[in-house]
Structure 1
Amino acid sequence: MTVTILVALAGAALLGVGFVAQQHAAYTEPLRRMLHLSLLADLIHKRLWLGGLAAMVGGQVLGALALREADVTRVEPLLATNLLFALGTAAVVYQERLGPGEWLGAILVSGGVAGFLLSAQPHGGGLPGPASLVWFGVLAVLAVAAVLVAVALRVALQTKAMLLAAAAGVLYGLQDVLTRGSLLSLREGPAALFTTWQPYLVPLIAAAGILLNQSAFDAAPLRISLPATTAAEPITGIVLGVAILGERLRVAPDALAGEVLGLIALVAGIVVLGRSPFLAKSEQGRSERPDPERR
């Protein structure tokens, strides 16, 4: 299990580095390209963004390897530490020291992850339940993401960025659960993998999540656009892991209290770190081209 934890943390590190690079590139794009495929078509020609995408894909591959050996409820909180690595990357790039706020956020995130895992002791789980249950979970998540996007279209720019980022995080959580289910099917042989529908849905969910994430990065600095993704993904993954894969958590009163406090600390730490000035420095790299919509 120690190896699985290290693999998940390595994946979180790559995700954090990738998010910093992607946002730095995406923030220079005109706002009118948000939620349009032309945004990705333009970004794909930028080396910095491609490097960030490669780091993100590498992080997702390591996350998949961790999910192959451990439950979603155990891996998701570890992947949520990607914001710590994003913060560290931004601090190195801009050559500034971490302040009290950053250390507080780091303690809350790390303590929240440790507290949740120690209290919940997630275990069990297996192949996805009845197809009707899986489809219900998928449709419910897609509905939540659609509502977030619909509301985002009607609100101010910073709120729009947070809602789009949250929608991306919800889809990433669904992607993680479908990946875990696909890997469990693979244990029964390659034929079992190709005869189930989950593996075919994963790339579509991933592509939609990337478009939403880059649109959020285009709208606002990383301190506004990343924390919502980082918070929504593990919460969605944990809920779906229990509902769809049958993963179990301890339900004793003391365990439930620890689980709730751990998740609260995790989300609070993400919010604190998201307010770090280091994660706002990417705003300095924005294009000088005028864009009336950004005013």
Structure 2
Amino acid sequence: MLLVLLLAVASSACAALSTVFKHRAAQHAVEQPAVDERADGEKLPRRGLRAAAVAWVANPTFAIAMVFDGLCVVFQILALKYGSLSVVQPVLCMSLVISLGLNHVMLRTRPTRSEILHSLTLVAGLVMFLLVSDAISAHGETAIGRRVPAIILAVVGGLFVLGAVFGTRSMRPRMRARALAASVAIVYATTAGLMKSTTQISHLFGLDAVLTSWQLWVLIALAACGLALNQVAFAAAPLNVVLPVVASLDPLFSVLIGVGVYGDQLRDTPLAVAGEVAGLALLLYSVVKLSSVRAAQGAAAEAELAAAMDGGATPLSMRNE
């Protein structure tokens, strides 16, 4: 259990570092935009969001963020190899706490009382759920995933995703964004499950079996689908509408999939179930609150980037100096 927790926390830390470095790259693109040199030697900054995106991606800080993204996935795969979905995915919520703390360190600011309180309640809810549930991962071929429950969940999840994409067009933007965000959470949780399947197939039957398994190719397809849905959801409403839904439902769906498909065993006495529900509820409540704060920070950074690069506006950070 300790190894699984350490790997999951390492994945969370890498995800948080990636987020912080991406924001630093965006800020650098605002403060030091790419320039074009005229024939007379005068240098003029490039304007427009395309130039901002180029400056962002070309920044070495962005490359560092990509490295941490890769490490995040590697640590998550290793954690899922040795542990259960019901443990690993809730622990990954720690990335919200870590990223907020790192952001304050980088900006040399102090966290608010609300941020401290919700960070503590997130940790408390997580610890309560892990201690009370005492989740145990299945072993052997059971850990690859039970076929019938997997098919049922895949069909239900697929119908939900299709309904969110095609059945919500007449909804108001915010309602549609929430439905799409719920679909993203389902896809992310399913993707985590398929990561576990592929690691178990590799462990039991070797790498050749992974390359010929349907789980690997469905995993790749779902990952692409999740990225596309994520962008559609973010385009439909602001970050503070979408991110809390994704961040809170992902661990919940992961626990359900872990128990229903991958044979995760949780304590099932009435007192234990009450403690598990209370811990998970406290965790998800804190995730919603902290992800709203994180989304607000991301939206502010995007607004500053757009204001600075579109039409020659002065960056907000420069105006405040």
| TM-score of the alignment, normalized to the shorter chain, above 0.5 | yes
Higher mean C-alpha displacement, 58-67 vs 9-18: 9-18
Q: After superposition, what is the alpha-carbon deviation per residue over 1:194-229, rounded to whole angstroms, capped at 9, x for unaligned?
A: 342111111111111122223444555544332222
Q: Which runs of 5+ in 2 are unaligned?
A: 27-49, 312-321
Sequence identity of aligned pairs in percent? 26
Output the TM-score relative to the length of structure 2: 0.74
Cα pair distance change 1:223/1:57, threshold 3 Å? farther
Q: Are 2:20 and 1:14 aligned?
A: no
What's 2:116 paired with? 103
Q: Are 2:124 and 1:114 aligned?
A: no
Residue in structure 2 matching 1:207, options 224, 227, 247 = 224
C-alpha deviation, 1:171, in angstroms = 0.8
- Verify the 8 A CA contact 2:118 2:290 in the aligned structure 1: yes
- Verify the 8 A CA contact 1:87 1:279 in the aligned structure 2: no
Q: After superposition, what is the alpha-carbon deviation per residue over 1:169-195, rounded to whole angstroms, capped at 9, x for unaligned?
A: 221110111111121122222143234
SS across alignment from 2:306: coil
What's 1:46 paired with? 57
Residue in structure 2 matching 1:171, options 173, 182, 187 = 187
Residue in structure 2 matching 1:76, options 89, 110, 116 = 89
Cα pair distance change 1:144/1:18, threshold 3 Å? farther
CA distance in 2, matches of 1:216, 1:50: 26
- Verify the 8 A CA contact 2:11 2:76 in the aligned structure 1: yes
Q: After superposition, what is the alpha-carbon deviation per residue over 1:58-115, rounded to whole angstroms, capped at 9, x for unaligned?
A: 2122111101111111111101222223323433444421111101210121111111
Count how many residue pairs are aligned between Structure 1 and Structure 2: 277
C-alpha deviation, 1:230, in angstroms = 1.5
C-alpha deviation, 1:255, in angstroms = 0.6
CA distance in 1, matches of 2:2, 2:86: 16
Residue in structure 1 matching 2:209, options 176, 192, 196 = 192
Higher-Rg structure is: 2
Q: Which runs of 5+ in 1 are unaligned?
A: 27-38, 291-295
Higher relative contact order (CA 8 A, sep 6+): 1
Cα pair distance change 1:82/1:65, threshold 3 Å? same
Residue in structure 2 matching 1:181, options 197, 206, 210 = 197
What's 1:254 paired with? 271
What's 1:225 paired with? 242
C-alpha deviation, 1:129, in angstroms = 4.7
What's 2:77 paired with? 64
Higher mean C-alpha displacement, 114-123 vs 182-191: 182-191
Corresponding letter in the other structure for 2:199: L
Q: After superposition, what is the alpha-carbon deviation per residue over 1:143-172, rounded to whole angstroms, capped at 9, x for unaligned?
A: 223333346544444444444333222211
CA distance in 1, matches of 2:24, 2:235: 9
- Verify the 8 A CA contact 2:198 2:210 in the aligned structure 1: yes
SS across alignment from 2:204: coil
What's 1:236 paired with? 253
Output the TM-score relative to the length of structure 1: 0.80
